[in-house]
């Protein structure tokens, strides 16, 4: 069941923000529908999270809109399926939260955003597997493909904990194919780490069984905890689909 506030509570009042914070704390995500093209979703997201905007690849707002050069890629601006991932794994400090604002949903019925908690998957791992994921430091940073050297990269373990909260740094595309945005029908030669490849395949299976599917309505906002939730997207064909994305914290 998607958690949504009543439309008359979706504003920046103290009561609305307090209720939104409770929902986010309880569920690690919140989805709201406003029917208001002028809703200040960025200010709302900042107030709910208590965080400031974090630049993403040189800009504060990333426009998630179909571009021809990404057409056949598994990319936010392409039409292919996006495999599960946490955002900005190649950052030294990935954002704590992500927010999406839907300016226009795809008319074709596709382009559904999916999210899933990672805690359930971590519980399926053996202690040996968890220790290996926590102790082994991996390089995250595209050395090939359309996102080559988009950041300086980062060296970190895939799994860490903040208290009892598991924090995952994972991109299924990157681990399986060595490319954050591969062309699924024209994959480049790549040999993934056998252990990570197995973990990734298991995570994809887990994700398929446990995700929430949210087909965002126009003028809706989806906000989630990027440290403890992974996300993905289904394929779509309508080139007029348009969302905006921000990083927080």
CA end-to-end span of the chain: 27
Token pair of 65, please? Answer: 């809109």
**CA–CA distance, 101 with 40 (Å, rounded to integer):** 10
Above pLDDT 90, what percent of the chain? 86
**CA–CA distance, 129 with 145 (Å, rounded to integer):** 30
Q: What are the C-alpha distances in Å from 51 to residues 12, 16, 98, 165, 246? A: 15, 17, 11, 19, 11
**CA–CA distance, 166 with 173 (Å, rounded to integer):** 21
**CA–CA distance, 27 with 163 (Å, rounded to integer):** 17
Quickly state the pLDDT bin for 145 (edges 50, 70, 90): confident
**CA–CA distance, 77 with 241 (Å, rounded to integer):** 10
CATH class of 7-248: alpha beta
**CA–CA distance, 117 with 206 (Å, rounded to integer):** 10
Token pair of 248, please? Answer: 């927080």
Q: Which of 233, 94, 231 is nearest to 169 (CA)?
A: 94
Residue 211 in this model has a pLDDT that exceeds 60 = yes
> Which pLDDT score is estimated for 236?
95
Q: Which of 213, 7, 217, 214 is nearest to 104 (CA)?
A: 217
> Which pLDDT score is estimated for 16?
84
Quickly state the pLDDT bin for 11 (edges 50, 70, 90): low
Alpha helices in the chain (DSSP H): 14-27, 41-49, 119-124, 127-135, 172-177, 194-210
Mean pLDDT of the chain: 92
> Which pLDDT score is estimated for 143?
75
Q: What is the pLDDT of residues 121-135, one digit of tens each?
A: 999 999 999 999 999
CB atoms near residue 179 (< 10 Å): 23
Average confidence (pLDDT) over 183-206 = 95
Entry pTM: 0.92
Average confidence (pLDDT) over 187-197 = 94
Classify 45 as helix, strand or coil: helix
Residue 10 in this model has a pLDDT that exceeds 80 = no
């Amino acid at each position: 069941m998607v958690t949504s506030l009543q439309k008359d509570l979706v504003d920046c009042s103290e009561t609305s923000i307090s209720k939104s914070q409770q929902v986010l704390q309880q569920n690690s995500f919140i989805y709201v529908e406003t029917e208001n093209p002028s809703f200040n979703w960025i200010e709302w997201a900042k107030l709910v999270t208590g965080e400031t905007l974090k630049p993403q690849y040189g800009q504060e707002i990333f426009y998630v809109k179909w571009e021809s050069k990404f057409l056949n890629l598994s990319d936010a601006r392409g039409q292919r399926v996006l495999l599960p991932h946490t955002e900005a794994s190649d950052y030294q400090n990935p954002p704590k939260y992500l927010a999406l604002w839907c300016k226009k949903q795809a008319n074709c019925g596709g382009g559904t955003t999916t999210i899933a908690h990672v805690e359930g998957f971590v519980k399926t791992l053996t202690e040996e597997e968890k220790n290996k994921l926590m102790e082994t430091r991996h390089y995250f940073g595209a050395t090939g493909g359309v996102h080559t050297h988009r950041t300086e990269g980062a060296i970190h373990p895939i799994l860490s904990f903040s208290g009892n909260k598991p924090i995952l740094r994972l991109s299924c595309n990157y681990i399986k194919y060595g490319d954050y945005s591969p062309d699924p029908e024209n994959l480049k030669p790549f040999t993934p780490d056998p252990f990570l490849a197995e973990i990734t395949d298991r995570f994809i299976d887990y994700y398929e069984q446990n995700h929430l599917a949210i087909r965002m309505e126009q003028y809706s906002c989806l906000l989630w905890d990027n440290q403890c939730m992974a996300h993905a997207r289904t394929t779509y064909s309508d080139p007029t689909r348009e969302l905006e994305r921000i990083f927080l914290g």
